[in-house]
Amino acid sequence: MSEIKTDFSWFENCKIYQIIIDRFAGTKPSYSFEELRRNLLFGNIKALISKLDYIKSLNFNMIWISPFFVNAPQGYHGYHVINYNHVDPRFAFGEHPPDYNIGNVFDENDLDLITKSDLVLQELIDESHKRNIYIMMDMVPNHCNRNHPFFLEAQKNINSRYRNWFYFIDDENTYNNYNNNFNKPEKYLMCINYEDVPKLNLDFPDCGNYIIKVIKKYLKMGIDALRIDHCIGPSISYLKRMCDEIHKEYPKVPVIGESLSLCNLQWKETILSVSEEKLRKLNNFNINIFPDLDDQFSDFINVLDGLLDFSFQYIIDFFASGQITEEKCRSMLKEHYDRFKNKKFFLIKNVDSHDCDRILFKCKNNMEIFWKCINLLYEKYEGRNDPLVFYYGTEDFMTQDKSMKGEAYGDFRCRKAMLFLYENFQKMKNFFESNK
């Protein structure tokens, strides 16, 4: 097969602004802080469009938006998909419009249907492109919500065409005892330990082909880049096939993975792209882990076009928390990047995100350390042209009262509604102006 020619020169040194749709613009903060754990705040894409000039004014040229697919009712973050074919009207409009339409996934023509909420995504893409802002979508190929119609159908009927789209365990015994009680579901593989999200069998041709068709729908609308959630879940062979299929048609679309491999070994059956040997090496997180983490990253070279750089983030974490000096931090970053010399592979820098404590909190609200971390994020490293990611609200010095770690649904602490306290923006805007 001839080599697929790609061109990601436009993506080099991109400055990416990451948002959670439900928490950014148009929110209705009617819930108490404790109720934020699993409730929608009705942030939406329509309201995001009204903030494009604000994002542009801070010199960002790409927006990474959280998954916008139709989600289960409490899927405010977008990772509990029940229909990949369409944009959730809640994410499009904030609340369900009168002609609420989430499509019919069993209709083979449903993917081709353009709903009113799909048109709102199209408007975001078009308005962003007018401002020379790219859009990166967050794709969730490894798993869906357990209320996805395909999964419900596969549970009900052992002969369903969707049965092989999932990983059921002990089929015969569990099916014979099945009594249509959804509180006692069959055993199945899931995304690590979350029973709400059954794992998709992407190596089964019908399933894997469907996900690629979904991606192409949104690329046809003008999406510029993909972030692949939990890319350690699917097999390397599937990821390679997915990327090749995308690049044949869209050679300028980079595919960036989230390879967070610091997972409990009891979940190893659900992680197909990382060997048990490498998972074992990464099982205990400490300051000496980075050569092994970088070694695991290397498995995705010539498969994906890049990864979110958790080595960078974790090294910054050690510095922000006072465990290493700035000099040691810079030394570790140099060693990290030296391992990827002469590799055509993006390492996307970030200091925090929706999945970890906010950077100002990590710095114990010490503004001097905070600014040093932001400077390290914006710094260009020898021989590298990696994009950076800036998490919404960091420019407004958003922080937390306690860590998200060790608390059920603790991640709501770093996912509060954007404040838009404009008196703070000018303090950081000067920094953005000097780092165009």
Range of the domain at 318: 13-141+203-433
| Cα 61 to Cα 120, 132, 175, 309, 390, distances in angstroms | 20, 7, 51, 19, 11
Kindly state whether residue 126 falls inside one of the protein's structural domains.
Answer: yes
Does 334 share its domain with 377? yes
In a 3-state reduction of DSSP, which class is residue 130? helix
In a 3-state reduction of DSSP, which class is residue 92? helix
Distance of alpha carbon 92 from alpha carbon 405, whole angstroms? 31
Does 86 share its domain with 190? no
Does 197 share its domain with 266? no
Kindly state whether residue 246 falls inside one of the protein's structural domains.
Answer: yes
Q: Tens digit of pLDDT for each residue in 129-149? A: 999 999 999 999 999 999 999
Does 136 share its domain with 149? no
Kindly state whether residue 4 falls inside one of the protein's structural domains.
Answer: no
Share of the chain above pLDDT 90, in %: 75
Does 319 share its domain with 425? yes
Does 175 share its domain with 214? no
| Cα 215 to Cα 98, 141, 171, distances in angstroms | 28, 9, 31
User: What is the CATH number for 180?
Assistant: 3.90.400.10
Kindly state whether residue 333 falls inside one of the protein's structural domains.
Answer: yes
**The pair of three-digit structure tokens given for residue 21, joined into one six-digit string:** 């749709």
Q: What is the mean pLDDT of residues 149-173?
A: 88
Kindly state whether residue 73 falls inside one of the protein's structural domains.
Answer: yes
Does 308 share its domain with 174? no
Reported confidence tier of residue 431, pLDDT bands at 50, 70, 90: confident
Write down the pLDDT at residue 290: 94
Does 171 share its domain with 209? no
Least confident of 89-98, 147-156, 242-251, 324-333: 89-98
Number of structural domains the chain divides into:
2
In 202-300, at which residue ranges do the beta strands (DSSP E only) sit? 225-228, 255-257
First-last CA distance in the chain? 41
Q: Tens digit of pLDDT for each residue in 233-278? A: 999 999 999 999 999 999 999 999 999 766 777 788 899 999 988 8
Share of the chain above pLDDT 70, in %: 92
Sequence letter at residue 419: L
Give the residue ranges of DSSP H helices in 94-202. Answer: 116-130, 149-156, 171-176
Kindly state whether residue 364 falls inside one of the protein's structural domains.
Answer: yes
Does 253 share its domain with 331? yes
Does 209 share its domain with 304? yes
User: What is the CATH number for 251?
Assistant: 3.20.20.80
From 201, 225, 250, the end of a domain falls on 201
In this prediction the pTM is 0.93
Distance of alpha carbon 23 from alpha carbon 352, whole angstroms? 16
Distance of alpha carbon 427 from alpha carbon 429, whole angstroms? 6
In a 3-state reduction of DSSP, which class is residue 279? helix
Residues forming a β-bridge with 227: 138, 256
**The pair of three-digit structure tokens given for residue 197, joined into one six-digit string:** 């999200």
From 153, 175, 201, the end of a domain falls on 201
Distance of alpha carbon 407 from alpha carbon 66, whole angstroms? 22
Does 97 share its domain with 234? yes
Kindly state whether residue 394 falls inside one of the protein's structural domains.
Answer: yes
From 201, 219, 249, the end of a domain falls on 201
In a 3-state reduction of DSSP, which class is residue 168? strand
Contact (CB, 8 A) for 240 and 303: yes
What 8-state DSSP symbol labels residue 267? G
Q: What is the mean pLDDT of residues 75-91?
A: 95
Does 119 share its domain with 180? no
Write down the pLDDT at residue 409: 81
What 8-state DSSP symbol labels residue 185? P
Average pLDDT, the chain: 90
Kindly state whether residue 3 falls inside one of the protein's structural domains.
Answer: no
